[in-house]
Structure 1
Amino acid sequence: MDQYIEKTILNNGLTVISERLPTVRSISLGVWIRAGSRYENEQNNGIAHFIEHLVFKGTKKRRGLQIARALEELGGSLNAYTSKEVTHFYTLALDEHLPVCVDVLGDLVCNPLLKEADIEKEKQVVIEEIHAVKDTPEEYLYDVFQEKLFPNHPLGFPILGKPETVRRFDLRTVREFMEQFYLPENIIISAAGNLKHDRLLKLVEKHFHFERHGQRPAPVRPRAAEKVNLEINEPFNQAHIVVGLEALPYASEDRFALHALNAYLGGGMSSRVFQTIREKHGLAYMVYSALDFFMDTGIFSFYLGTDPAKRGKALKLLFKEIAKVTEKEISRTMVKRLQEQLKGQLLLGLENTAHRMSRLAKNEIYFGKQVPLEESIEMIYALDEKKIFEVAQKIINVDKLNVIQMVGHA
């Protein structure tokens, strides 16, 4: 199923990976820079995300409005995001517009103007974005959770930064970060859709030019807190609660067992915590679990929003469901259901060129190679009750669960 995947490392160190899908009309193209917030420090926290914003203000070839129009006028799209470990610029367009996609992305990454006036203006925009997150309890609480789980480490830093760090940004801060991380050896270009690899290479060589070369600093592995129990008073109507713990890195051999645990405990409407806390007891509207994977660690977390007066009962039920998977193996019948669920999610995602493009890059970033789809499916079907139980016992200690509560009015 992966027979149309090709990879080339150009002479300048830039990695280009593509997957040809001749039966579709779209192309998803992405530029992945290993330059997320975990590569920041306390002084420049938020700079990776800020640069992601700033390059859209204008380049040597295009004004900001021209950048916005370049793909929209063709029925396509252009966007970007910053995570803990990467900054990602990406496009979606018809196959005939591949040259425009490569041109625009190359322009953003290699030719941004970086004007002082734009920096000052964008600082206000990002600070408003930070305020918007703080007004969104679910997002804000998770930022606090990560900060407490990984204290004094960049993985605990908020991706957007803090108002006080953003206010300090200037042209020097921007240039220093870009000179350290916007390097061809630190960038992956991935594409999926109706395209030919050789043509993509020619376009990349034409539009991506770098003056600097080098390797990024190796990230320092975080050390998770022993146990966190924190209550924050905020004027919200609900109590918002995150419970979680350090889990597994992206490339762990046990990753699918953890995916199975996540699906079983809180990965959908049929999951244990949803059925128990919402359907049976009516204590929450939003209740779910989630996984975050990084190169050297991960997070397994649960979120619920409930009446402040009922949070004690809701937490007790949540802890009880989490504890069960460490006390007794789940049934073979349930394992088979989870296998089909994981396989279905994996294969359905491949119906989307953007998902395929993302898969190419993440395989390269976290595995250093392309993991065959068949291998992933084999790993899913190799799961059994014993393996899932073993992983649950390895990563979950109910007595050491970290709990962050944002308590509204009782």
Structure 2
Amino acid sequence: MSRASAPFPQNRRGVAALGNTGVPGAGSARAVTRTLSDDPLGGTVRRTVLPSGLRVLTEAIPAMRSVSFGVWVAVGSRDETGPQAGAAHFLEHLLFKGTHKRTALDISSAIEAVGGETNAFTTKEYTCYYARVLDEDLPLAIDVMCDLVADSVLEPADVETERGVILEEIAMHDDEPGDEVHDLFARAVYGNHPLGRLISGPEQSVTAMTRRQIQTFYRRRYVAPQIVVAAAGNLDHTAVVRLVRQALRGTPLDTDPAAPAPHRPSTPAVRTKPASTVVEQKETEQAHVILGCPAIDRLDERRFALGVLNNVLGGGMSSRLFQEIREQRGLAYSVYSYASQYADSGLFAVYAGCAPGKVDEVLDLTRAELARVAADGVTPAELARGKGMSKGSFVLGLEDTGSRMSRLAKGELLYGTLMPVDELLTRVDAVTLDDVNTLAAELLARPMSLAVVGPFGDSDFAT
């Protein structure tokens, strides 16, 4: 096979309606396909909606010799009730333990035998199962990954085995104060709302959760309209759709016709707690602090301005906070700002890790810099640099099939549309100095919550 050849016969019909493919069940009704873009910076993006409501998106990049294939489910930790807390992450572990066709060893050895890799991750709003393989091994990856997502058996013995693994994972997380402080901050802002909980769930609910609870969560949440299949690399869209339909034949995802689930609504907005200080006392060598506030949701038109503002404040080595706190004063090894965005809420925060005796100075400098930008705004030179960082990091992040596959799925699941690369770059270019400064004046003047992990007590940060 030549380097530029495709692993499947090429489809030259363009936009088409895929009819009966010879596969019973899911293949017996018509699926609607359309081309979303022919991106000059990438390949041809196509989208098919199967009769069940499951969506298949691909980006064909003939120059590649690999393919990244993912099954994305619009279910995350925020979809759990209190007794279910940790169920989405529990499932992420369990689905690799065996199906009606494959054992856990069959699943791992099948992909590893061809030099591929598989993994999964759970977030607060979705779960992803993915594989990366050579283009010629894509049919195998599709069959294995669709099988484990659609038809896991959740054996009682496997539930108990993975319960122990997850409890160890939670314990390991508790031993990483640099990670723990982010969860502490989320709890300070969101309180008992699911967005304020650990994705892995608390030890109590993971310990108490029964197989029946997990099975019920699985079958109620892992339904075809909630699922997006995405693939990027050297592939043919029509062949991918055919293989997905074959892999799902006779499984619980081979269902009656339905419409795809809409993306999460942005209203009503999540209610957040008043600004507060939370301290986790630990005898650590370094203090970990996060100072931040509620911000904007992911569909807010100001998200491009927020990206630029974040770059200026703490998005790199040339940012204000890095220069002031690390380069000029040597107070911290790590200092950065970040923005997290959900369907109906968001966060903006600054993280720093420093010696316990330097915490007060670091916080004073951080608050002073945020107040300065809120009052005076950023400069034209900083605006240009912040926009350049946003555009560059986005385009450079599309240099592998995994990131392109993720872009397809996130566009479909989180935004309901795939913004072309050129349009996104144009939106960043359109951000003005007034856009950034207006947002900074509003956002950075908000009351800030503080989360601290280190050798302190609550009274050490009393105002």
Aligned residues: 409
* Counterpart residue identity of residue 353, structure 2: G
| 2:82 alignment partner, SS class | coil
| 1:269 alignment partner, SS class | coil
- Tell me how far 1:38 sits from its aligned partner: 0.5
Correspondence 1:2-401 to 2 at 5 A: 2=39, 4-208=44-248, 209=251, 210=253, 221-398=269-446, 400-401=447-448
Separation in structure 2 between the aligned mates of residue 328 and residue 88 of structure 1, nearest angstrom: 42
Deviates more, 1:324-333 or 1:203-212: 203-212
- Tell me how far 1:397 sits from its aligned partner: 2.0
* Counterpart residue identity of residue 238, structure 2: D
- Tell me how far 1:231 sits from its aligned partner: 2.1
Change (3 A) 1:100 1:126: same
The answer as to whether partners of 1:56 and 1:64 remain within 8 angstroms in 2 is: yes
The answer as to whether partners of 1:308 and 1:408 remain within 8 angstroms in 2 is: yes
The answer as to whether partners of 1:180 and 1:216 remain within 8 angstroms in 2 is: no
The answer as to whether partners of 1:332 and 1:384 remain within 8 angstroms in 2 is: no
The answer as to whether partners of 1:71 and 1:101 remain within 8 angstroms in 2 is: yes
Deviations 1:196-252 (A, max 9, x none): 110000001001232667769967742111211122211111211011111122222
Match for residue 404 of structure 1? 451
| 2:201 alignment partner, SS class | coil
The answer as to whether partners of 2:123 and 2:199 remain within 8 angstroms in 1 is: yes
Change (3 A) 1:216 1:386: closer
- Tell me how far 1:147 sits from its aligned partner: 1.4
The answer as to whether partners of 1:240 and 1:406 remain within 8 angstroms in 2 is: yes
Separation in structure 2 between the aligned mates of residue 333 and residue 286 of structure 1, nearest angstrom: 24
Match for residue 23 of structure 2? none
* Counterpart residue identity of residue 443, structure 2: I
- Tell me how far 1:16 sits from its aligned partner: 0.6
The answer as to whether partners of 1:248 and 1:297 remain within 8 angstroms in 2 is: yes
Deviations 1:56-114 (A, max 9, x none): 11111221122112222211110000000001001111111110110111111111121
Separation in structure 1 between the aligned mates of residue 307 and residue 340 of structure 2, nearest angstrom: 11
Change (3 A) 1:316 1:378: same
Deviates more, 1:65-74 or 1:178-187: 65-74
RMSD across aligned positions (CA): 1.8
* Percent identity between the two aligned chains: 38
TM-score, with normalisation over the residues of structure 2?
0.85
Kindly name which structure, 1 or 2, has the bigger radius of gyration based on alpha carbons: 2
Separation in structure 1 between the aligned mates of residue 397 and residue 453 of structure 2, nearest angstrom: 34
Separation in structure 2 between the aligned mates of residue 242 and residue 66 of structure 1, nearest angstrom: 44
Separation in structure 1 between the aligned mates of residue 58 and residue 186 of structure 2, nearest angstrom: 34
Deviates more, 1:219-228 or 1:32-41: 219-228
- Tell me how far 1:373 sits from its aligned partner: 1.1
Deviates more, 1:286-295 or 1:182-191: 286-295
The answer as to whether partners of 1:292 and 1:300 remain within 8 angstroms in 2 is: yes
The answer as to whether partners of 1:37 and 1:48 remain within 8 angstroms in 2 is: yes
* Counterpart residue identity of residue 68, structure 1: S
- Tell me how far 1:307 sits from its aligned partner: 1.5
Change (3 A) 1:40 1:74: same
Separation in structure 2 between the aligned mates of residue 276 and residue 395 of structure 1, nearest angstrom: 21
- Tell me how far 1:270 sits from its aligned partner: 1.2
